[in-house]
Amino acid sequence: MYDAIIIGGGPAGLQAALTLGRMHRRTLLLDSGGYRNGTVRHAHNLLTNDGRDPAELRRIARGEIAAYDAVEIRDAVATEVVRDGDALTVTVDGDTLRAHAVILASGVADELPPIAGLAEHWGDTVANCPFCHGHEFAGRPVAVVNASPHAAVLARMLEPVASEVHVVAPDDVSEVSGSHDGLRLRLGDGTALEVAGAFVAPTWTVRGAFVDALGLERQDSGAIRTDPFGRTSVEGVYAVGDIAQPDHLPGPMFSLAAAIAGGQLAAVAVVQSLVA
């Protein structure tokens, strides 16, 4: 019987594991190896690690966690989470494991607008968040490829950073090509737009079929509804990182720092519930 099983080895899950390890709570972390920022080589806006390769961040985190005997990390896929009396069971590789608490940190999956060539640049010169990727295009033109009302907000955010901000509807872009140094957007009227980078708005869904099966309450955004400590509507089940949206926030906060903070708070709540 584990004190906690964490599903996800991104920043949210890794921080939860570190906190539980330091409190000597028997913890299993499962990691299927698919990270939201898997194509990113330089993550930004994380204090003391601005610009670090996210894979390196995960490697350092695993090394730190290895110092705590209570934590086991398994590179494996969780397929089912079920409440069973006072415990929760998690199915992995055909085994059924039991825990007092389960922390869901399985992240979200992005679907990009269907524009030829876009995916090749995702995480490099194509991104979604100006806080993470924006300064890298400083003083050069950028494109906001977005037809929603949010496009104008994004454009205003980028004004002090970029030399020009071009707002283009996704339907108007037929193809994206380029390199690490810049992009060429072929437009519907046959002309081309040369920019340093482009911002797109992917649609996203929470990862893990077990999330639906648990019947967890969701927010309007689609994220899992939690309290400030990551508690969901099912007792013993916590959600942290990109998949979670606490009630006090207007939407899920997609950032490494927010994921780390969520992981730590949920681990504290798990320890509190174990001693209660």
Ligand X SMILES: Cc1cc2nc3c(=O)[nH]c(=O)nc-3n(C[C@H](O)[C@H](O)[C@H](O)COP(=O)(O)OP(=O)(O)OC[C@H]3O[C@@H](n4cnc5c(N)ncnc54)[C@H](O)[C@@H]3O)c2cc1C
For residue 20, what are the CA distances in angstroms to 72, 101, 231?
Answer: 11, 12, 16
Q: Find the binding residues for ligand X in span 45-64 (CB under 6 A).
A: 45-46
d(CA 93, CA 37): 25
How long is the chain? 276
Task: Provide Rg for the chain, Cα atoms.
Answer: 20
Please name the helix (run of DSSP H) or strand (run of DSSP E) that holds residue 143, with its range, or none.
strand 142-145
Q: Under the criterion CB under 6 A, does residue 145 sit at the interface with ligand X?
A: no
- Which part of the chain contacts ligand X (CB under 6 A), choosing from 9-17, 65-73, 95-103, 188-196? 9-17
Q: Under the criterion CB under 6 A, does residue 36 sit at the interface with ligand X?
A: yes
Q: Can you tell me whether residue 206 is helix, strand or coil?
A: strand
Tell me how many residues contact ligand X (CB under 6 A). Answer: 40
- Which part of the chain contacts ligand X (CB under 6 A), choosing from 60-68, 168-176, 216-224, 256-264? 256-264
Closest approach of Cβ 197 to ligand X, in Å? Answer: 11
Q: Under the criterion CB under 6 A, does residue 34 sit at the interface with ligand X?
A: yes
- Which part of the chain contacts ligand X (CB under 6 A), choosing from 31-39, 140-148, 180-188, 193-201? 31-39
- Number of C-alpha atoms within 13 angstroms, CB side, residue 8? 30
Output 43 or 144, the one with its CB closest to ligand X. Answer: 43
- Which part of the chain contacts ligand X (CB under 6 A), choosing from 20-28, 61-69, 169-177, 255-263? 255-263
For residue 88, what are the CA distances in angstroms to 20, 81, 84, 112, 263?
Answer: 17, 7, 5, 35, 19
Output 54 or 236, the one with its CB closest to ligand X. Answer: 54
Closest approach of Cβ 276 to ligand X, in Å? Answer: 26
For residue 237, what are the CA distances in angstroms to 62, 139, 209, 250?
Answer: 23, 46, 15, 22
Q: Find the binding residues for ligand X in span 81-140 (CB under 6 A).
A: 105-107, 110, 122-123, 127-128, 132
Question: Which residue matches tokens 């996210």?
Answer: 54
Q: Under the criterion CB under 6 A, does residue 274 sit at the interface with ligand X?
A: no
| Binding characters for ligand X, 191-220, by CB under 6 A (x = yes) | ----------------xx------------
Q: Under the criterion CB under 6 A, does residue 40 sit at the interface with ligand X?
A: yes
Which pair of tokens denotes residue 244?
């979670």
d(CA 217, CA 209): 15
Q: Can you tell me whether residue 144 is helix, strand or coil?
A: strand
Q: Of 3, 4, 5, 10, which one interacts with ligand X (CB under 6 A)? A: 10
* Residue 32: how many other CB atoms lie within 10 Å: 18
Output 132 or 155, the one with its CB closest to ligand X. Answer: 132
The residues binding ligand X (CB under 6 A) are: 7-13, 30-37, 40, 43-46, 77-78, 105-107, 110, 122-123, 127-128, 132, 207-208, 241-242, 254-257, 259
